[in-house]
Amino acid sequence: MDAIELKENFKEVDTSSLVDKVEANLVTLLQQRKLKVGDPIPKELELANTLGVSRTVIREAMLRLRVMGLIESRKKKGAVITSPDLFGNMSKSMNPHILDQETLKQMFEIRLVLEIGMADFIFQRITKEDIAALREIVSHEPPATQHHLFNIEHEIAFHGKLYEITGNENMKKFQSMLLPVFDYVHHSGLLKKPISHKKFVSHKGLVDIIENGSPELFRNAMRNHLENHFARLFE
Amino acid sequence: MDAIELKENFKEVDTSSLVDKVEANLVTLLQQRKLKVGDPIPKELELANTLGVSRTVIREAMLRLRVMGLIESRKKKGAVITSPDLFGNMSKSMNPHILDQETLKQMFEIRLVLEIGMADFIFQRITKEDIAALREIVSHEPPATQHHLFNIEHEIAFHGKLYEITGNENMKKFQSMLLPVFDYVHHSGLLKKPISHKKFVSHKGLVDIIENGSPELFRNAMRNHLENHFARLFE
DNA sequence: TCACGTATTATGTATGACATAATAAAAGTA
DNA sequence: TACTTTTATTATGTCATACATAATACGTGA
């Protein structure tokens, strides 16, 4: 009997610690939708007694839920269920010096995907004021020869505004976390091909399309606008 | 002197707890890129002595890092630096019964954005085998009248395969987490407008375009394919 | 040289004590 | 009575200590 068959015939040994089990317990407790945001969960000592483990274990399990943003605990009140901030929790890990290169590259890619794919939401939800704001931003668009940092700030202002227009706060939050990673990948030696500064569709060109074009046109224009980045990923 | 001026003249009081401080300490330790993945960090007792706090505080701070996926701790070995699994950490929170409605809706939207925006990566990285696999999947495409669950499985197989083709594992992981949310939003009363089953570009149509078309064509086709979902979000 | 048992080490778990903050109850005052 | 102040209660936050457990290193004997 070879190794693969063996693996199928044996049950997985439960190697999880006490804390793991309690955590799983609590998570399923939360997921049974009898409980809503704001509802309190049992006190540490109650849980310790009920589950037959020490308060230390309970605390560590609850600590995990707290770090994940699933609960919040206040003195005297105990712990209450909260609606987690999905991307907020990610921000501490989203650091170029901590992530491995493959992940960094993939984050770089995801940004490109998002900006091309969000066209419909921009067109659906944009307001007159948004267009005015975009016009204001592009009026300061620096020439490609400008100093790097200046360009970066302009990039952030313009593209950040686009995310804002989609009205999708989670996507916006994700983007702001992606920014330093994107910048890092762009300038570190991670991408082998050199940085190109060929001129494609400009920010102003994109705004023109937003005003007079269609989502289809915008997607293609954005794809073109990002060509310098794509060129470094492909081939 | 009014309240606003007062606020400007006073420094912010440092309200962070001991654990917060230790955590910040450790994070900066990790971010100094002298340390690589796999390197060990000091033992709990050493840290407790060095920083002058109890082991409990150290453990809680390290626990946070562990939950975020920045470190892993093993008995005897101590804690070592790991490369965090950005989206993996999110999965426990990504539950329809825990998230609030607005967030759920935004996750629904992000899926649409990703699938439209990822065209270039599909075209760049697809192989003959991938196309064969897609063909195999669409050959089982059920009629729209089929039972819900059957359709869902087919949807997952097809769209999941597309993510896989992009070669972006993080995006794929994100997608698989999004699946239950998407399904929930689709069928719960969260979106006011009724579910439409109008026929637009089919999965088979998408595969044809992948084989003979271009990223531009694919984006538009995917947008069309997802029209039933967009229609429920927009007016 | 290898196998096996033993010591060591760092995390995991348990327990008890006290600090602190938020709330509820009680007491006091107009 | 109504309203403020004080006091008690309660549940989490922090600290300290002891022991359990698992992984590793060491040493002994064949």
What was the pLDDT predicted at B198?
Answer: 76
Q: Is the pLDDT at B23 greater than 90, yes or no?
A: no
The whole-number Å distance from A74's CA to C20's C1' is 12
Query: Are residue B197 and residue B93 in the same domain, yes or no?
Result: yes
Q: Which residues of A touch B114 (CB under 8 A)?
A: 110, 113-114, 117
Contacts of A23 (CB under 8 A, 6+ apart): A61, A64, A65
Query: Are residue B115 and residue B70 in the same domain, yes or no?
Result: no
Which among B84, B108, B135 is the end of a domain?
B84
CATH number, domain containing residue A64: 1.10.10.10
Query: Are residue B9 and residue B109 in the same domain, yes or no?
Result: no
Q: Is the pLDDT at B221 greater than 80, yes or no?
A: yes
Query: Are residue B107 and residue B26 in the same domain, yes or no?
Result: no
Q: Average pLDDT in the B103-126 region?
A: 97
Strand D bases, protein C-beta under 7 A: 9-17, 21-24
CATH number, domain containing residue B167: 1.20.120.530
Which among B84, B104, B136 is the end of a domain?
B84
Give nearest nucleotide to A76 (CA–C1'): D11
What was the pLDDT predicted at B205?
Answer: 95
Query: Are residue A60 and residue A131 in the same domain, yes or no?
Result: no
Count how many domains chain A has: 2
Lowest mean per-residue pLDDT among A10-24, B49-63, B106-120:
A10-24
CA B41, CA B50: separation in Å to the nearest integer?
13
Minimum distance, in Å, between the CA of residue B178 and any CA atom of chain A = 12
Q: For residue B188, give the amino acid letter.
A: S
Give the structural domain span for B93: 88-234
Q: What is the pLDDT of residues A146-204, one digit of tens each?
A: 556 568 889 999 999 999 999 999 999 999 999 999 989 988 888 888 887 777 899 99
Query: Are residue A70 and residue A178 in the same domain, yes or no?
Result: no
What was the pLDDT predicted at B13?
Answer: 47
Residue A205, class by beta-carbon neighbours within 10 Å (0-12 exposed, 13-18 middle, 19+ buried)? middle
Q: In what order do the strands lie in the sheet with B78-81?
A: B40-41, B78-81, B71-74
Q: Is the pLDDT at A132 greater than 90, yes or no?
A: yes
CA B123, CA A148: separation in Å to the nearest integer?
32
Minimum distance, in Å, between the CA of residue A177 and any CA atom of chain B = 12
Q: How many CB pairs under 8 A join A and B?
A: 164
Q: Which stretches of B65-143 are assigned E, i.e. beta strand?
A: 71-74, 78-81
Looking at residue A73, what DSSP letter applies? E
Asked if strand C contacts A54 at the CB level, meaning under 7 A, the answer is yes
Asked if strand D contacts A64 at the CB level, meaning under 7 A, the answer is no
Specify which residues B81 forms β-bridges with.
B71
What was the pLDDT predicted at B136?
Answer: 96
Q: How many CB atoms lie within 10 A of CB B98?
A: 24
Q: Which residues of A touch B233 (CB under 8 A)?
A: 124
Q: How far is CA A80 from CA A36, A43, A64, A125, B124, in A?
A: 9, 10, 14, 35, 47
Average pLDDT, chain A: 87
The whole-number Å distance from A3's CA to C11's C1' is 32
Q: How many CB atoms lie within 10 A of CB A79?
A: 21
The whole-number Å distance from A105's CA to D10's C1' is 51
Inter-chain CB proximity A106 and B30 less than 8 Å: no
What was the pLDDT predicted at B204?
Answer: 94
Query: Are residue A10 and residue A96 in the same domain, yes or no?
Result: no
Give nearest nucleotide to A41 (CA–C1'): D11
Q: What is the pLDDT of residues B157-194, one digit of tens each?
A: 999 999 999 999 999 999 999 999 998 998 888 888 88
Inter-chain CB proximity B93 and A70 less than 8 Å: yes
What was the pLDDT predicted at B9?
Answer: 41
Residue B62, class by beta-carbon neighbours within 10 Å (0-12 exposed, 13-18 middle, 19+ buried)? buried
Residue B88: pLDDT band (50, 70, 90) is confident
Asked if strand D contacts B74 at the CB level, meaning under 7 A, the answer is yes
Residue B184: closest CA among A33, A100, A171, A217: A33
Best residue in B34, B58, B92 to probe A by mutation, most A CBs within 10 Å? Answer: B92
What was the pLDDT predicted at A8?
Answer: 42
Query: Are residue A114 and residue A199 in the same domain, yes or no?
Result: yes
Query: Are residue B77 and residue B140 in the same domain, yes or no?
Result: no
What was the pLDDT predicted at A7?
Answer: 40
Residue A16: pLDDT band (50, 70, 90) is low
**Can you give the pTM of this predicted structure?**
0.85
Q: Is the pLDDT at A220 greater than 60, yes or no?
A: yes
Highest mean pLDDT out of A32-41, A215-224, B53-62? A215-224
Inter-chain CB proximity B117 and A121 less than 8 Å: no
Question: Is the distance from CB of A181 to CB of A99 less than 8 angstroms?
Answer: yes
What was the pLDDT predicted at A229?
Answer: 93
The whole-number Å distance from B77's CA to C10's C1' is 7
Q: Which of residues 55-74 of A touch strand C (CB under 7 A)?
A: 55-57, 60, 74
**CA-based nearest residue in chain A for residue B115:** A117
Find the CB nearest B67 among A37, A67, A219: A67
Q: Which residues of B touch A220 (CB under 8 A)?
A: 216, 219
The whole-number Å distance from A54's CA to D27's C1' is 38
Query: Are residue A93 and residue A78 in the same domain, yes or no?
Result: no
Query: Are residue B142 and residue B168 in the same domain, yes or no?
Result: yes
The whole-number Å distance from A70's CA to C13's C1' is 24
CA B178, CA B95: separation in Å to the nearest integer?
9
Query: Are residue B39 and residue B75 in the same domain, yes or no?
Result: yes
What was the pLDDT predicted at B7?
Answer: 40
What was the pLDDT predicted at B148?
Answer: 61
**CA-based nearest residue in chain B for residue A167:** B106
What was the pLDDT predicted at B33?
Answer: 62
Which among B65, B84, B103 is the end of a domain?
B84
